[in-house]
Structure 1
Amino acid sequence: MSGSFPREKYLGRVDTLLEEFGLAKSKDTLIGGWMLRGISGGERKRLALATELLTNPSVLFADESTSGLDSFMAKSVVQQLQRLAVHEERTVVATIHQPSSEVFMLFDRLELLADGATIYQGKAADAMQYFANCGFECPTFMNPADYFMEKIVVVDADTDNTGVERVRILKEAWKTHVAQSNREIEIINPQGPRYTKRLEAAT
């Protein structure tokens, strides 16, 4: 925080974040490390998020905040991220490693990348139907996140010709989807954004 930020407000902000992230009971506990036992892994992840929020940012980037946690603690951390987005109206951008199906459904929007190219971008809840429309239907009892990764990750491009072709199909499908969406926008608003603004001003 800025040096001009009053100490009282700074300490008050710290106490508020400790309460919000369920860390108040560990307030006087050392963080710890390899040689010294301290707070738990879940508490450590929540503390990292709380630290990022000290300056009250409107945008929060959370890079693999659930790595190394069990499914229960991972869900708890993502629920904290969801609370920040929904109740505090912050923009939260998160990368996540092997989310459970429950954790996956906590996300509003999803972006899937393969070789730096977009495979899907949109509502997380719509991703399964999109993949099904592309010919890749997620089995009923399979974790959607695991299924998507199975379809877009190619471990060895030299030997996995099927995987390479599958990713190529998904890349082309997304390009087609975007192009179709753009055409629909042009049909709805053939005059472009300036026409829309003039129409709004006239009404």
Structure 2
Amino acid sequence: MALSSLEERRKVVNEVLGMMALRMAQSYRVGSVGARIISGGQRKRVNIGVELVSRPPLLFLDEPTSGLDASCSNVVLRSLLDLAVNGGVNVVAVIHQPRHSVFHMFHEIHLLGESGSTVYHGPPGKVREYFESLMYSFPPFENVADTLLDIVTGR
């Protein structure tokens, strides 16, 4: 949808700044690899925000947390969860080895086996039960997502 007035464009940008928790950095330069001005987590949120100003109904993200520490990943994914729940955007993201709290943020997960075929599709709260019914075990004190990665890769 094309935004016709400067006022409409400013409103959308301000909404995205709030949604992506970037208000405190709104007047900073993004920088480059050699001259970092904002953090990696802020940079990821800026990249996502640039896409959001066009108001897409669907957002595909390929590893939006790669290269981030667990805390920054959590901030990025909480922003995406808020976007999905309150922003009216369907968010599809590829996430490798999410931490426990992040894994349970998702409404649905889709696991692919090494051949690319679907191994599981459904809520994260049911995945353990499903694989246990297939005689897989989950070691105590291990991240469920890490164990699932071992299962789907045959390790």
1:148 deviates by 0.6
2:120 corresponding residue in structure 1:
120
2:61 corresponding residue in structure 1:
62
- The Cα offsets for residues 88-141 of structure 1, whole Å up to 9 and x where unpaired, read as 232111101221011101111011001110100111110000000001021221
Quote the Cα distance in structure 2 between the aligned partners of 1:5 and 1:144.
Answer: 47
Q: Report the number of matched residues.
A: 154
Give 5+ residue unaligned stretches, structure 1.
155-162, 164-203
Written as runs of structure 1 = structure 2, the 5 A alignment for 1:188-203 is none
Q: Is the 8 A contact 1:21 1:46 kept in 2?
A: yes
SS in 2 for 1:62: strand
Written as runs of structure 1 = structure 2, the 5 A alignment for 1:39-50 is 39-50=38-49
Quote the Cα distance in structure 2 between the aligned partners of 1:88 and 1:10.
Answer: 17
More helix by share: 1
1:178 corresponding residue in structure 2:
none
Taking only aligned residues, the RMSD between alpha carbons, in angstroms, comes to 1.5
SS in 2 for 1:8: helix
- Normalising by structure 2, report the TM-score: 0.92
Is the counterpart of residue 150 in structure 1 residue 153 in structure 2?
no
Q: Is the 8 A contact 2:59 2:90 kept in 1?
A: yes
Quote the Cα distance in structure 2 between the aligned partners of 1:91 and 1:37.
Answer: 31
Q: Is the 8 A contact 1:108 1:125 kept in 2?
A: no
- The Cα offsets for residues 74-97 of structure 1, whole Å up to 9 and x where unpaired, read as 111111111111122321111012
1:174 corresponding residue in structure 2:
none
1:20 deviates by 2.1
Quote the Cα distance in structure 1 between the aligned partners of 2:53 and 2:91.
Answer: 15
Q: Which runs of 4+ in 1 moved over 4 A?
A: none
Which one is further off, 82-91 or 67-76?
82-91
Name the structure, 1 or 2, with higher relative contact order (CA <8 Å, separation 6+).
Answer: 2
Alignment identity in percent?
A: 35
1:201 corresponding residue in structure 2:
none
Written as runs of structure 1 = structure 2, the 5 A alignment for 1:85-104 is 85-104=84-103
Is the counterpart of residue 24 in structure 1 residue 2 in structure 2?
no
Quote the Cα distance in structure 1 between the aligned partners of 2:24 and 2:139.
Answer: 43
